[in-house]
Amino acid sequence: MPPKVKVAALPSTMKELKDTLWKAADKLRGSMDASQYKDVILGLVFLKYVSDAFDERREQIRTELEADGQNEDQIGQLIDDVDEYTGQGVFWVGARARWNYLAENAKGLPATQGEAPRSIGLLIDEAMDVISADNPTLAGSLPRIYNRDNIDQRRLGELLDLLNSARFTGQGATKARDILGEVYEYFLEKFAHAEGKRGGEFYTPAGVVRVLVEVLEPTHGRVYDPCCGSGGMFVQTEKFLESHHREGSNISVYGQELNERTWRMAKMNLAIHGLNGNLAGRWGDTFARDQHPDMQADYVLANPPFNIKDWARSESDPRWKYGVPPAGNANYAWIQHIISKLAPGGSAGVVMANGSMSSNSGGEGEIRAQLVEADLVSCMIALPTQLFRSTGIPVCTWFFAKDKTAGEQGSVDRTGQVLFIDARNLGYMVDRAERALSEEDIAKIAGTYHAWRGTSSARDAALTYIDEPGFACSVSLTQIKAADYALTPGRYVGAADVEDDGEPIEEKIARLTDDLYVQFLESERLAGVVREQLRRVS
């Protein structure tokens, strides 16, 4: 008889599920750093999901066959038809990769005649191999790290016991995938916070990604991210399509990522969300070897690493159409690579450090001038500070468009114009270290852009663009040239209008001066009281 599997009470809400899983993550905290246990936990969560979804589908098939009058022998022959699973968006899971088998052997398998003992870590690694072999879309993405010396096998077994209480099924494969997707994103955010600065390499705050997606509205064609991290841009694109009742099959996803572990996370993340993305056969440096050399994208969404100094630079690279980027900063290399990837009519949104909007070092000012004169820049947005917990660098978003004439991209011809939005005063503090953008903030930014562009979606059809002092201003290329091609929104939007209270300015100044003198006198009186009290106690 196999040992009985411990099953705790099932979490009844999404919060309880997240809390249960984070408690499971705590099992490994202290025995390894955040970057290591992130991979351990996310792999196990995915393994639990695919096994739960498989078991649920298996029961559905059995119920359907029994309803058709099939006997046990017939059911046994038909219940292992792989197409009955994959055709319903469920991964095939072999017997030794199923969660029940692993949970029953959470302490490992003892030695048998002719066979050495096998740890739970080895069993999990083998399960990952089995699932990858049976599901080609997962090839190369699942972590195989559980039998390493730095993994405490006892704690790993306890971790499996805790994860038994998590259930990703009960409402069908699509709902289960949605639940797992939300849990996965929750974990990515929590791990990004735990890892500090390095966390920003694989995680972009959801609000920042939403700004890019809601402005660009990627509804069809090829979507590309040259530094895709864990795939957050693609996931938010899929959510945008779902919220607008569009099919995810309307887009094709292309990405590249330098870090091997992050690339594997992205592959897993896309699989979780049912996205068939082309992230190339392996990880790699976008500058040294573009793994999608002939691909032309309809939309590019990216959050490149800011201000990187050590990058694969070649002065003869054909991507540097608007000027060779400086060796000490790759910001304009990313921008030009992204522009080189745009198809005719394509558009892009890129998160950049604020310095990119006005820097003149290393020829960056000349490159920026060339981009403006080529009429590629469509919108510049200054974002609030503290959106990234991993860095204090203020950030902005650049938007590019290959075609600003009236047409598919909008009904208003914006040739020779750039929209500037100063959103630095938006957002709210989540805690002392981090700010977030609200739904209203994102809608205000995106709505302003769509009104300016004349987007024909039902949401924006009634909006008419007008400049809003202190927030938004449409500026001609001539005006930008006069400002030496600086693209900082604050330079153009001016100050917000102050409501006129009807009091003449001379009278207001006199009144405020009198009030100030009164405050001075009161301050002197209180200082005297304090001095007297100190004299008495001394």
Residue ranges covered by each domain of the chain = 14-187, 202-493, 504-532
**pTM metric for this prediction:** 0.80
Residue 67: how many other CB atoms lie within 10 Å: 8
Please name the amino acid found at residue 337.
H
Question: Which pLDDT belongs to residue 31?
Answer: 62
Question: Which pLDDT belongs to residue 241?
Answer: 86
> Of all residues in the chain, what percent are helix, strand and coil, respectively (each to 5)?
45, 10, 40
Is residue 156 within 8 A of residue 127, CB to CB? The reply is no
- Topology of domain 14-187, CATH: Ferritin (1.20.1260)
Please name the amino acid found at residue 40.
V
Instruction: Assign 531 to helix, strand or coil.
Output: helix
- CA pair distance 294, 285, nearest whole angstrom: 16
Please identify which residue in the block is written with the tokens 């003449």: 504
- CA pair distance 346, 324, nearest whole angstrom: 23
Residues in Cβ contact with 246 at an 8 Å cutoff, skipping those fewer than 6 apart? 219
DSSP E strands, 238-364: 251-255, 277-278, 297-302, 342-353
DSSP 60: H
Is residue 158 within 8 A of residue 73, CB to CB? The reply is no
Structure tokens at 258: 């330098």
Residues in Cβ contact with 409 at an 8 Å cutoff, skipping those fewer than 6 apart? 345, 347, 401, 403, 453, 455
| CATH superfamily placement of domain 202-493 | Vaccinia Virus protein VP39 (3.40.50.150)
- β-strand partners of 268: none
Instruction: Assign 248 to helix, strand or coil.
Output: helix
Q: Among candidates 493, 303, 492, which has minimal Cα distance to 397?
A: 303
Q: CB burial class (10 A; 0-12, 13-18, 19+) of residue 424?
A: middle
- CA pair distance 125, 130, nearest whole angstrom: 9
Please give the radius of gyration of the chain, using alpha carbons only, rounded to the nearest integer. 28
Question: Which pLDDT belongs to residue 271?
Answer: 81
DSSP 28: T
Please name the amino acid found at residue 316.
S
Using alpha carbons, list the distances in angstroms from residue 383 to 166, 390, 422, 493.
38, 16, 7, 14
Which stretches of the chain drop beneath a pLDDT of 50? 1-12, 172-173, 197-201, 458, 460
DSSP 109: B
Kindly state the helix (H) or strand (E) to which residue 168 belongs, with its residue range: none
- CA pair distance 479, 6, nearest whole angstrom: 69
Question: Which pLDDT belongs to residue 29?
Answer: 63
Is residue 259 within 8 A of residue 201, CB to CB? The reply is yes
Phi-psi group of 375: left, alpha or beta (phi > 0 → left; psi -120 to 50 → alpha; rest → beta): left
DSSP 200: G
Using alpha carbons, list the distances in angstroms from residue 505 to 115, 469, 511.
93, 21, 10
| β-strands 221-225, 297-302 pairing | parallel
Question: Which pLDDT belongs to residue 179?
Answer: 67
Please identify which residue in the block is written with the tokens 């070897």: 289
- CA pair distance 31, 186, nearest whole angstrom: 22
Q: CB burial class (10 A; 0-12, 13-18, 19+) of residue 300?
A: buried
Residues in Cβ contact with 537 at an 8 Å cutoff, skipping those fewer than 6 apart? none
* Sheet hosting strand 251-255, strand order edge to edge: 277-278, 251-255, 221-225, 297-302, 342-353, 395-401, 377-382, 417-422, 472-476
Structure tokens at 337: 């690579």
DSSP E strands, 175-219: none
